[in-house]
Structure 1
Amino acid sequence: MRKILYSFIISVMAIFVLNQMIYQEIPEKDTKEQLSEIERYKHPVKSISMEYTDNSDLTIFDSILKDNKVLILGENTHYDGSTFEAKSRLIKYLHEHLNYSVVLYEAGQYDTWIMNDEMNHHRLKTSADSIGGLGLFEFWWNAKETQPLIRYYQKTKTSVNPIEIGGFDIQFSGSTLSSKRGKLLKDFSRRNKINGTTFPILNKHTGELNQFMYPKYVNRVLKGNQKNEFLKEITRLEQIVLRLDKTPENTMYARYFHDIKNNMTKNWKYKPGSMPSMHFRDSLMARNLMYQIDSVYQDKKVIVWCANIHSFAERYSKDYLPLGSYIRNKYGKSSYIIDFSSYAQQYNNGSISDRPGKFAIENIFHKTKSPYFFLNLRNVPENSFLKKEFVSTINQRMDMKKNWSRSFDGIFYIDTNIVLTPIKK
């Protein structure tokens, strides 16, 4: 009994000591020094609204992006409404003042191509308020915070400097396009005299491509070796299209079939959200993105819209190399990465949540009492604590300790990020 009591006392003491080591307060002196340094380097941003007309707070980007070719704009999560507003204002400024005329999304390469074509030619007669749904995931178009940017894209189409929209993902992203996907594919085959009966599995299930992303569904529909046969049919169709005339449409459809095969492979082979799945997808997104930058928009400045985690220029784990690392490796200093972070999230009912752990730098950011500011990490001295390891919630609001300056070039801070406001239809 006495041994048990001693063991219990020792365990309690060990836990107490461990807690003291892990959860010790940050010395007040260090906090003051960090706050002073952030105050020294932060650049206040007056507003995140696209309607704000005094752009003097954004002229800092004139020098930062002087020799830039590729600008990546991240986001902590896909439901950060204030981040979307800030990105929208930045895009408008960069388009009107720094000649950025291409925005490429972490969205389907084919889907965004269809969306851009519809904005240019209106062949599908899609309404202006739904046109974003042809190419983008729901959270990037069907929300109060994103609709002004979609309207701005359409407005530029009649100007002398239109914005071209594209994507680089292998996934299907356009919810409005889902019901049209099968018909568009059949129309393309008919125009190019491609005999659908020579692709029996695809021909039978053309209208189910969106459902084929889900292993449970496809395993119920395709039996035996039919999944492999389906992928072979897609590959054979890609090869046929590659032999057609090299028109923009034919080139895109060949890439579309390649993406379909890879999208199905990813969903059928890897666990959703796993590092191998992320690595597989990011490597292919990087290939698509570099193709768009170098071949389709080779003489233009490009803005890339994606999640923070995909933007990182440094390896995330032994199993995952993010998209941003491929871009940084190829374009070097002519690429610039801005990631977004916040102290807290405000929901539509006014409640505040998702505050960081007490070691996160977002606590120091919050002490500046600035609603918005920008930090150019490239301009911070090497001996600064900002160029060393620190804890941040910049990756999906998880407290993580890294040398973050190796993963991105700038931080756009929004103190309270108001959650996305979906448009009800």
Structure 2
Amino acid sequence: MKKILYTLIVSVIAVVILNRVIFKDIPEKEKQELLNDVQRYKHPIKSISMEYPDNSDLKVLDSVLKENRIVMLGENIHDDGATMRAKGRIIKYLHENLGYNVVLYEAGQYDTWMMNEEMKNHSLKIPSASIGGLGLFDFWWDNSENQPLISYYQKTKTSSYPIELGGFDIQFSGIELYDRRSKLLKDFFSKNSIDLKPFPLLNKHINQISNFMYKGFASKTLPGNQKENFLNEITRLEKMVSKLEKTSENRIYTWYLHDMRNNFAKIWKYKAGSMQSMQFRDSLMAKNLVHQIDSVYQEQKIIVWCSNLHTFASRYSKDYLPLGTYIKNKYGKASYMVDFSSYTKYNKTGTPMDKPGKLAIENTFHATKTPYFFINLRNIPESSVLKKEFISTINQGTDQKKVWSQFFDGIFYIDTNTFLTSHE
């Protein structure tokens, strides 16, 4: 009984100490200093709608991005509906006013290439409302927030200044390709007189190729050392395809096989969401993105669409170097990272949820009573509290303390975010 009582007392003391450390209020002087700096450097944004007729609020980007070539647009989590709308408006502005004509997604290189080709040629006869499903994960096209942007992409294809779409991920991303992958691969091999008989495992299982992104299916279908042999067959095919004539189609299939092999290897080897898995993927996404920037879209201005975490321009942990760090290290000030954050989000009943902890800077953002604003951290004096360490929920809604100005160049704030909604 005494032992139980002792344990209970220790637990209560621990909770009290934890509450004082984590949930203590910011001293009033520090709070006011932070609010003053936010008010001083914030640039109000009037709307997040692509149809908003007055772009005077976005002209701040003209000077911010004057020497820029690469803009990385993040998002806190993938179902932030208001963030998607804001990104759509920014992309439209950058395309029509600042000469950005390439948008590269955190989505499969091959999948987004197929989507881009379909928007131009319509060879697969995919309905316009579903065409985003060839290349993108569903949260980037299958909702009312993203459909205006998908329509805008398609509209530009018939203009004198079309947007080119691509990707840099190693993953399969297009649901509309799920049942088409096998046939498209077989048609490509057949057209190029590539016999699959010397590749017995791939030849046997090619009709199930989409299912190998599931670890359980792969383990059941390829027992023993067959998984390694399967990966080796894909590598051998990649080398064979790389020796074909250097057409755009042959090049993308070479990369497709390379990414496929690495994606399967990642899924089968690492625990999903682990730092090892993230590091493996980001290092390969960086290689793909650099290839796109330097070789596919030379000297063109490029928008990169991904999550906030992948935009980070500094090491996240000892085990994980984000994609943005590779890009910032290579392109320096020619790259600009914009991350999105919010104070709260309304659930389906209209109730605010996921509010930040007491120490998070989002509380100060909320106190400005400004629905949307942008802060350019790059040109703020080093003496500003915004250039020092502070707590933010900008990484997947979790309270984290970092010198955030080292991780991204600008913050786009949306006071109340929303969930994605059906476009039916």
Report the equivalent of 1:350.
350
Inter-partner Cα distance in structure 2 for 1:309 and 1:220: 33
Deviations 1:182-219 (A, max 9, x none): 11101100110000222221122112122101111111
Residue 391 of structure 1 aligns to a residue in which SS? strand
Q: 1:214 matched to which residue of 2?
A: 214
Paired residue for 2:44?
Answer: 44
Q: Residue 105 of structure 2 corresponds to which residue in structure 1? A: 105
Distance in 2 (CA, whole Å) between partners of 1:3 and 1:161 is: 75
Contact 1:139-1:422 at 8 Å conserved across structures: no
Deviations along 1:50-73, whole A, 9 cap, x unmatched?
Answer: 000100000000011111011000
Paired residue for 2:327? 327
CA positional deviation for 1:6: 8.4
Q: Deviations over 1:377-402 (max 9, x none)?
A: 01211011110110000000000000
* Whole-angstrom CA distance in 2 between matches of 1:149 and 1:355: 29
**5+ unaligned residues in a row in structure 1: which ranges?**
none
User: Which residue number corresponds to residue 269 of structure 2?
Assistant: 269
Q: Which residue in 2 is equivalent to 1:341?
A: 341
The answer to whether the 8 Å contact 1:119/1:131 transfers is yes
Q: Which residue of 2 aligns with 1:246?
A: 246
CA distance in 1, matches of 2:347, 2:334: 37
Cα RMSD after superposing both structures: 1.6
Q: Is the 8 A contact 2:116 2:166 kept in 1?
A: yes
Give the Cα–Cα distance (whole angstroms) in 2 for the partners of residues 421 and 306 of structure 1. 20
Distance 1:134 1:243 in 2: 27
- Secondary structure at the aligned position of 2:143 is classed as coil
In the other structure, the counterpart of 1:199 is 199
Residues 18, 323 of structure 1: alpha-carbon distance in 2 compared, 3 angstrom cutoff: closer
Does 2:82 match 1:67?
A: no
Deviation digits for residues 58-92 of structure 1 (CA, Å, limit 9, x no counterpart): 00000111110110000000000000000000000
How far did residue 352 of structure 1 move? Answer: 1.6
Q: Which residue of structure 2 aligns with residue 86 of structure 1?
A: 86
Q: Give the distance between the partners of 2:101 and 2:12, measured in 1 at CA.
A: 62
In structure 2, how many angstroms separate the alpha carbons of the residues matched to 1:3 and 1:118?
Answer: 70
Residue in 1 that maps onto 2:34: 34
**Shift in Å at residue 347 of structure 1?**
2.4
Partner Cα distance (1:367, 1:80) in 2: 21
Cα pair 1:348 1:421 within 8 Å, conserved: no
Bigger mean CA offset, 76-85 vs 226-235 = 226-235
How many residues matched? Answer: 424
1:202-247 Cα distance to aligned partner (Å, 9 max, x none): 1221121221011111111112221111111101100111111111
Instruction: Report how far residue 12 of structure 1 moved.
Output: 5.0
Query: Deviation of residue 23 (structure 1)?
Result: 2.6
Find the residue that maps to 1:321 and give its secondary structure.
coil
Q: Distance in 2 between matches of 1:85 and 1:10?
A: 49
* One-letter identity of the residue aligned with 1:141: W
Q: Identity percentage over the alignment? A: 63
* Stretch deviating more after TM superposition (26-35 or 372-381): 26-35
> Contact conserved, 2:23 with 2:357, CA < 8 A, in 1?
no
**AA matched with 2:374:** F
Aligned to 1:132: 132
Q: Name 1:289's counterpart in structure 2.
A: 289
Cα distance, 1:300–1:224 mapped onto 2, change above 3 Å:
same
Secondary structure in 1 matching 2:197: helix
Answer whether contact 2:147 2:423 (CA < 8 A) is retained: no
5+ unaligned residues in a row in structure 2: which ranges? none
CA distance in 1, matches of 2:6, 2:165: 68
Match of 1:156 in 2: 156
Q: Check 1:9–1:288 CA distance in 2 against 1; reply closer, same or farther (3 A cut).
A: closer
Partner of 1:423, secondary structure, is: coil
The secondary structure found in structure 1 opposite 2:128 is coil
Q: TM-score, normalised by structure 2?
A: 0.97
The code of the aligned residue for 2:351 comes to S
